[in-house]
Amino acid sequence: MVRAGERTVQLYRSWVGRTLDEVETPAAVVDLDLLEANVARMQDYADAHGIALWPHAKTHKSIEVGARQLAAGAVGLTVAKTGEAEVFHEAGVERLLVHHPTYGPAKWDRLAGLVDDGLELTIALDGSDAAEGLSRALARGGGSAGVLIEVDLGMRRTGVASPADAVALARRVDALPGLHVDGISGYPGVRVPAGEVRPYLAGVDATLRATRDAIREAGIRCERVSAGSTPTRYMTHETCISEMRPGTYVFLDRMEAPSEPDGGLDACALTILATVISTSVPGRAIIDAGSKTLTGDRHPDGGHGIVLGVGGSLVELNEEHGYIDLESAATSPRVGDRVRVIPNHACTCVNLHDALLGVRAGTVETVFPVAARGLNW
């Protein structure tokens, strides 16, 4: 039997050359013009400021989208999971940053195997267990990997708590066979009001500088300062950050669109194409895209996505139903009408799909299998 993921990829490929009116719904659609503009705009910014771009591939998990980012000038790709690293390495990506405190003998062996196979691997770590495990695994093949010491930038998630802790960990890591400290890393992902982003980033910068300087003073190399998220990406040059790894910028979504100075919602490359399947209940139109298609991730303002054109809010989702409230709608959709929805969160939305339709001017041009989907082990 054809497996589920392969079934979707085969079906989607049969739609190449057709218009969006002819494909089945729900489907995740990527506007290729907008995708390419988003890739180019981020790369232009990075190039203009001499910042190395390491896009986070968690957003798309797609070999083809990653290839576009690399072709535009990205130095390498960032991933979270070992399974993602394997998929992108197999696809020929030469340089990967694994930004997750990877734990487990099997995972360390798998990462070491990629190094032995030619991958230029950097890993961000915040503890010695993972460093020691990876070092042991690397020793068998004689390979080596760079390490970024991860620093907590206020998320209270991962990362060491102080420059002194960073120095202590850097000393232990640098002494381990097969590992060399290349720099530091952090994730400035604290959600602050728009007016407080710059002050927050100034604090991030101070922490990163203090940590970098302390490691250097200890006689350990600290060339790379890796940070950056989509919300703060255009302020990166105001800091000591030498490399950035935004993810969502490639598609944008309802959450991150406001971080785009010119484009906003018009720059969102990812939409869910859905069909109105019921108007039985007055004041409502129900679409065939629910939380298993759009993501259940919330937006602080409420609602589950922006319904383009119609204007009504997507007030509720069940697994396979989306509820459009027609009170604020510009039109009254009928059963069979199609709508497009900008999801709240592109990363978790894409993670629900086995493939994305790459569309230009309303016609399917290509298919992006979400090749690393589900590989969270």
Q: How far is the CB of 262 from a second copy (least distance, A)?
A: 27
Degrees to nearest 5, angle at CA 140 with 84 and 108: 30
Q: How far apart are CA 326 and CA 347, in angstroms?
A: 28
Beta carbon nearer to a second copy, 33 or 278: 278
User: Out of 184, 208, 252, 352, which residue is the one contacting a second copy (CB under 8 A)?
Assistant: 352
Range in contact with a second copy (rule: CB under 8 A) among 67-75, 173-181, 233-241, 275-283: 275-283
Q: Residue 257, SS3?
A: helix
Q: Which of 290, 325, 321, 299 is nearest to 310 (CA)?
A: 325
Beta carbon nearer to a second copy, 241 or 356: 356
Q: Is 300 in the site for a second copy (CB under 8 A)?
A: no
Residues in 14-73 at the binding interface with a second copy, rule: CB under 8 A = 24-27, 58
327 Cβ contact list (under 8 Å, min separation 6): 283, 312
Phi and psi, residue 147, nearest 5°: -125, 135
Residues in 95-114 at the binding interface with a second copy, rule: CB under 8 A = 100-104, 106-107
Handedness of CA 352, 355, 360, 364 (dihedral sign): negative
Q: How far is the CB of 31 from a second copy (least distance, A)?
A: 19
Q: How far is the CB of 225 from a second copy (least distance, A)?
A: 19
Q: Is 288 in the site for a second copy (CB under 8 A)?
A: yes
Q: Is 370 in the site for a second copy (CB under 8 A)?
A: yes
Q: Is 359 in the site for a second copy (CB under 8 A)?
A: no
Question: Is residue 78 a contact partner of residue 372, using CB atoms and an 8 Å limit?
Answer: no
Residues in 238-257 at the binding interface with a second copy, rule: CB under 8 A = none
DSSP secondary structure letters along 221-252: ---EEEE--STTGGGGGGSS--EE---GGGT-
Q: Is 208 in the site for a second copy (CB under 8 A)?
A: no
User: Out of 226, 242, 259, 351, which residue is the one contacting a second copy (CB under 8 A)?
Assistant: 351
Residues in 142-201 at the binding interface with a second copy, rule: CB under 8 A = 150, 152, 156-161, 165, 189
Beta carbon nearer to a second copy, 308 or 335: 335
Burial class (CB in 10 A: 0-12, 13-18, 19+), 263: middle
Q: How far is the CB of 50 from a second copy (least distance, A)?
A: 29
User: Out of 301, 302, 319, 361, which residue is the one contacting a second copy (CB under 8 A)?
Assistant: 319
Question: Is residue 66 a contact partner of residue 88, using CB atoms and an 8 Å limit?
Answer: yes
Q: Is 87 in the site for a second copy (CB under 8 A)?
A: yes
Over the Cα atoms of the chain, what is R_g? 22
User: Out of 320, 360, 363, 366, which residue is the one contacting a second copy (CB under 8 A)?
Assistant: 320
Q: How far apart are CA 282 and CA 334, in angstroms?
A: 12
